[in-house]
Structure 1
């Protein structure tokens, strides 16, 4: 078995006229005698402001597939680049061409139009699709977040969702703490205030007081029976709110995200609840600081997650190709193997939930007890 590398982006640019007609780059190199071919497409922009990100994703996928799918008897794995255009039409045409051939997987999708164009085409043909960049909730959970329903069973993501911790904290307050009435103090972060208040409303709660004046918000919160007070922004404002709550004898849980940074835990706030993104630390299976050097280009925002996507696909191919008689007949088996994966990746432990989303990396909720934050739950 061998892995054939697709043309580099320099060659892609030089061959732009040819690419415009089909949207993909053929792989280079000699076929193994008698070997069957399985194609992995890499859906990334060939030009424009995300071209550098596309280079990183292509190089990372190529390196990972070569590392993990290098010894499958009777098979040649071909890695090809597929141009992801701004409107998605060229991507749709190129992906259609891939599935009509010997494609077994597509990795990429750095734009929403590209992902949406490719999803139904690949899903109809049971072709594995893995994005290292997409975090749009509807792409894995469907249109109604209150009743999640996976729209495409062939779609997975090594990217981690980007929901603000404040929004997750709002749901935790309303559902977990049963705080139907909450107050919000704007300590200098309007975006965090907006994320929290909108999520409270979506969860069925009510914001009964809101503003930047701490004393006024706390007084109104007490009058209106609020049982939780959220602070957005400055840790110094959070300390003021904590003191004001105790002074007013308001029986309410103090909530925060960025506001509970710094030395807040040293100054009181017993029982306060904070939300923060869980960090995906590189695991023992990855050499620290070595990945970018191995890949050969700066990783950018998506390179590490793309390497994990390539590792996942390569690992799957090593399992689903050997018993298959053709690339197309291997596709269903590849999908089944994908849901079973669990490995140490460049961005942390990699496995997938029932919706194809990355497990781990969830927002964490912690309670302040005796000056120490203790994790009490996760979101997702």
Structure 2
């Protein structure tokens, strides 16, 4: 096994440990084993998988776990690629992502075909355009910032970088995601909150409204009182937490008061709450225009192999190790398909991107497949609007 330093440089105090874990995984097609290639070995093409993670600071241990997981997964899936040597190399993104741009630039100028990592938000943002410009596959096991896959407007999601994917699945409460959607997507600067029996959900929504730049102008458990104050204060959205019966009550109150506001909910909109077709104010269900948020369908910590994965890779998983293993598995699977027909690493890049969207496998964190934005299928909060008595998905939150 050879040792190769990444494009980023570790701080002196951490360098020895980081470099020791940067041992390059060289995967030989002839035997499917990890070996070292000398300078005299000619004829084999080389492709590099970079692992972008902090080499020092408070996330150093997480970076080491990501490196070990990716190396193990790539070795498992791409250990027999005819005529190719695959190197897994650590590159330092810095404690705050400050070295990520330089690190990935050096990679793409060489024989990089993929990068796994980006444990900091600045690091992800710095690496995305550089890797996308060169068609280098980029997979993060840690990032859950919605804008990184959906663009700036949650009401009109638009994928900013086609080379970017994530195996991370967010665990944010749907109510918080819905609050951002209300303020940013629906333009509701003033909202009201009806606590229909779930105070924790009501608090999560209210806190997220404030963080998104909006204001809660009315709140309480009495739907009629909240709606009345909402009208006085000019609220344009009303969120109901908890009981579905309270949601239908709030809906009737909104219509009776002629308040021009969108009704919002998560658990309060569970079951079949669509109107039964009545057009008057005494219908039994919600009327068209209500918006709900549904939780991600993946458990970010559960998986078919996570219990023994740490033993398999020889390192503690940390916060991102399982998702990093799934990222490495995805990369290894793709490389086994796109490298054999390619004449060079750079010429393989577009083919690797094309293969990525076709993946569907059982990973350490559950089923791994990607949607049209590069997010985990089933791993995002979904927003739906009630139209003609049926819920229609109008957006997702990463």
Q: Is the 8 A contact 1:166 1:196 kept in 2?
A: no
C-alpha distance in structure 1 between counterparts of 2:383 and 2:133, whole Å? 39
Mapped contact 1:108–1:306 kept (Cα < 8 A): yes
The corresponding residue for 2:144 is 135
Q: 1:372 is matched with which residue?
A: none
The count of corresponding residues between Structure 1 and Structure 2 is 346
SS of the aligned residue for 2:307 comes to coil
* Stretch moving more, 54-63 or 118-127: 118-127
CA RMSD of aligned residues (A): 4.7
Partner of 2:106: 97
Q: Distance in 2 between matches of 1:365 and 1:191?
A: 17
Q: Are the structure 2 counterparts of residues 108 and 173 from structure 1 closer, same or farther at C-alpha, using a change threshold of 3 Å?
A: closer
Q: Flag the 1:124–1:363 CA change in 2: closer, same or farther, 3 A.
A: closer
Indicate which of 347, 361, 377 corresponds to 2:379: 361
Query: 1:115–1:354: structure 2 CA closer, same or farther, 3 Å change rule?
Result: same
The alignment's TM-score, normalised by the length of structure 2, stands at 0.69
Counterpart selection for 1:210 from 209, 215, 218: 218
Return the alpha-carbon distance in structure 2 between the equivalents of residues 38 and 165 of structure 1. 40
- Give the whole-Å Cα distance in 1 for the aligned partners of 2:359 and 2:370: 7
Residue among 71, 78, 89 paired with 1:62 = 71
Q: Distance in 2 between matches of 1:288 and 1:40?
A: 23
Query: Does the aligned pair in 1 maintain the 2:191–2:218 contact within 8 Å?
Result: no
Residue aligning to 1:267: none
Residue 8 and residue 305 in structure 1: after superposition, are their counterparts in 2 closer, same or farther (change >3 A)? Answer: farther
Moved more, 165-174 or 51-60: 165-174
Tell me, yes or no, if the aligned pair for 1:166 and 1:256 is still in contact at 8 Å.
yes
Who is 1:31 aligned against? 37
Q: 1:184 to 1:5 in 2, by over 3 A?
A: farther
Is this contact kept in 1: 2:15–2:55, CA < 8 A? no
Partner of 2:55: 46
| Aligned residue runs from structure 1 range 1-380, under 5 A | 25=22, 27=24, 29-31=35-37, 33=41, 34-161=43-170, 164-169=173-178, 183-185=192-194, 187=199, 190-195=203-208, 210-212=218-220, 214=222, 216-217=225-226, 220=229, 230-232=239-241, 242=246, 245=249, 250=253, 256-257=265-266, 275=293, 277-281=295-299, 286-287=304-305, 289-363=307-381, 380=396
Helix, strand or coil: the match of 1:350? strand
State the alpha-carbon separation in 1 of the partners of residues 317 and 59 from structure 2: 13
Given the superposition, is the C-alpha separation of residues 254 and 353 from structure 1 closer, same or farther in structure 2, using an over 3 Å criterion? closer
Deviation track 1:17-46 (CA, whole Å, cap 9, x = no partner) reads 6999x9x95627511843221110000111
- Partner of 1:370 in structure 2? none
1:369 is aligned to: none
Q: Aligned to 1:140, what secondary structure does the other structure show?
A: helix
Cα offset for 1:328?
Answer: 1.5
Separation in structure 1 between the aligned mates of residue 58 and residue 237 of structure 2, nearest angstrom: 44
> What's the CA shift for 1:271?
6.1
Gaps of 5+ in 1: 262-269, 367-374
Counterpart contact for 1:282–1:345, Cα < 8 Å: no
Task: Compute the displacement of 1:311 (Å).
Answer: 0.7
Do the aligned residues in 2 keep the contact of 1:27 with 1:78 (CA within 8 Å)?
A: yes
Paired with 1:249 and 1:99, the residues of 2 have a C-alpha distance of: 58
TM-score w.r.t. structure 1 length? 0.72
